[in-house]
Amino acid sequence: MRSAQRTTSAAGDRSLLRDSSLVWLASGIVGVSFGAVSVAGGLPVWVPVLMSLVVYAGSAQFSAVGVLLAGGGPAAAVATGLLLNTRTAAFSLAVAEIIGSGRAARFLGAHLVTDETVAFALAQPEPALRRRAFWISGLGLFAVWNTGVLAGALAGSALGDTTRYGLDAAFPAVLVALVLPALRADATVRRCALLGASLALAVTPAVPAGVPVLLALAGLLLHRRPAAPGAAA
């Protein structure tokens, strides 16, 4: 029995590693771009590397570096990053039970909460799979992202503008693939997603990058908790 359980668990982990590798590949590419753009813009190598280790928030990092390279001060860069990363507060609530109850697990898990790890974890059908998916995808993503940033920072401006290769579309494509099963299975989720996507598209031309994702959370207003057993109709 135990041997069969270990075999099943190992097979599940291999499947999670295989699926996570697509997210890691996209993360590594974007990380290289971030490191290269930061150093090519005039920042020392240690700035994007340290920021990636401590802050670890892709869109917020790009925005903060953009503010710095445009002549803005550290306070403006931090404020921009915080604004764009507030959406992770809602994500954290969604995976709070998945991360675990220990203090160390919650501290490390909170640092690994990203759009990708949350989407990947919630796409799994069972609690045990969700927890493994979160940690496997989260730890791998953190390692690959920081390795990519370091490589890009060391390469400096030699890579040129990495967005011309169209690789910036990798993350959205992977996220769409992850959320499709949930959209197909639940009409309420589809309604929430449709409202959120409509709001995000409507405000995209008028607000900074990252803000549309935050405003899309308003789609959750259409989500209703299932009635408790025995509750009055």
Q: In this predicted model, what pLDDT tens digit does every residue of 111-134 receive, in sequence order?
A: 888 888 888 888 887 888 888 888
Tokens found for residue 161: 């503008």
> Does position 4 have pLDDT exceeding 50, yes or no?
no
d(CA 124, CA 117): 11
Nearest to 47 by CA among 28, 60, 65, 63: 65
pLDDT in tens, 37-59: 888 778 888 989 999 998 888 77
- pLDDT category, 231, cuts 50, 70, 90? very low
State whether residue 20 is helix, strand or coil: helix
pLDDT in tens, 67-87: 777 676 777 677 767 776 776
